[in-house]
Amino acid sequence: MLLRPALLAALALLAFAPLGTSAQLARKPSFYDRQAGTAAAPQGTPGVGELPALASRADFDRLARVYDAGTPLELPHALFVIDRRAAPARMHFVNTPRYALHERFVRDTRLLREAGRAALNRNYRAPDRRFVFGTPGWQAAANTFSYEFWEGDRLTPELLALTQRTLAATFYAPVRFKANSTQQEAVAQAAGIEALTQAALIQDQPYLPMNRGRAVGRLRIVPSVDAARDLAPTDIVVLREVPISLPPVAGVLTERPSTVLSHVNLLAKGWGIPNAYVRDAAQALARWDGQWVQSAPSAAATRTSNGRCGANGS
């Protein structure tokens, strides 16, 4: 019997492991873990920590980070922070290998002096936020630069228009807005800005490995991370929505098309855990919710000769 592509891809990621099989039990440091403190900064590239404008591709490359070089997932990208308290609003293009996350940049440079998670999260949720956090990157599939925000950023038409104007004045090439949620698509429409979508970039692809790896853990289907306070480092989570933060887990599957620049994938790469997009993953894997499984995202899903589902290169 032929399986739907999404189900085949999901099964390719999961193979049963015996109860009691050791999982990734070590506590993983998290940029978002209040108890763990601030994680160590990655090794930075030489040169300045930021630039107020990018006048050339060489300037972009000077600050950019590249994941999965030489693969279809290759995406050179750099963080930016717009400080709305300055007059006019000031652009900071961030040395991304050095600072890794927007949070690290604004805290290490003391732009954000208020302590606590709430002060940071206002800059993703409040319309009167001080900072706009975004990421420009080169989209080879669309032959264009794009800029994007976290999937759950409560963007407004005014904030998007400000970002578009600021990038037009500080970036050497045209940059298209890439919407990562239906809410952001609606905001773009209200602002009169054409949006590029991740769904359009991956088209009909039902499966996309974001971070390769292998993990053993208990499968947890999670409608909302906020409602699942008991996630553990031994869990392989199926996320029906993409959260702003995530406690340490053993592996991740997401139902929404995401990108290598999403917060969850940045955490997955930092922790060294597998992460993949699988369309309809919760439905396909419902029967194994709560059971111990093995996750091994690979470049392409396929059926093995013995009738079980495996993954090439896993």
Angle (deg, nearest 10), helices 157-170 and 182-191:
70
Q: Given CA atoms 120, 126, 131, 134 in this order, what sign does their dihedral have?
A: positive
- What pLDDT score does 74 carry? 81
The whole-angstrom separation of Cα 48 and Cα 7 is 47
**How is residue 181 written in tokens?**
């949620």
Residue 219 φ/ψ region, left for φ over 0, alpha for ψ in the -120 to 50 degree band, beta for the rest: beta
Taking only the tens place, the pLDDT of each residue in 54-95 is 999 999 999 999 977 777 668 899 999 999 999 999 999 999
Model confidence pLDDT, tens digit, residues 170-205: 999 999 999 988 899 999 999 999 998 876 666 556
Residue 19 confidence (pLDDT): 40
> Could you tell me the pLDDT band of residue 29, with boundaries at 50, 70 and 90?
very low
pLDDT of residue 301: 42
Cis peptide before 88 (omega within 30 of 0): yes
What average pLDDT does the structure give for the chain? 79
Class of domain 5-35+204-312: alpha beta
* Residues in a beta bridge with 253: 238, 276
* pLDDT for residue 32 is more than 60: no
**Average pLDDT, stretch 22-40?**
33
What is the rounded CA–CA span in Å between residue 214 and residue 311? 12
Average pLDDT over residues 36-55: 64
The answer to whether residues 197 and 146 touch, using CB atoms and an 8 Å cutoff, is no
pLDDT over 90 at 98, yes or no: yes
User: Could you tell me the residue ranges of all domains in the chain?
Assistant: 5-35+204-312, 50-202
E-state strands within 87-172: 90-94, 131-139, 144-148
CA 27 to each of CA 112, 144, 232, 239: distance values in angstroms, whole numbers, following the listed order: 28, 39, 9, 20
Q: Is beta strand 131-139 parallel, antiparallel or unpaired with respect to 80-83? A: antiparallel
Are 297 and 211 in contact, with CB atoms under 8 Å apart? yes
Task: Please state the pTM of the whole predicted model.
Answer: 0.59
Q: What is the pLDDT of residues 238-287, one digit of tens each?
A: 988 777 678 899 999 988 766 777 778 888 888 999 998 888 889 989 99
* Tokens, residue 169: 């004045």
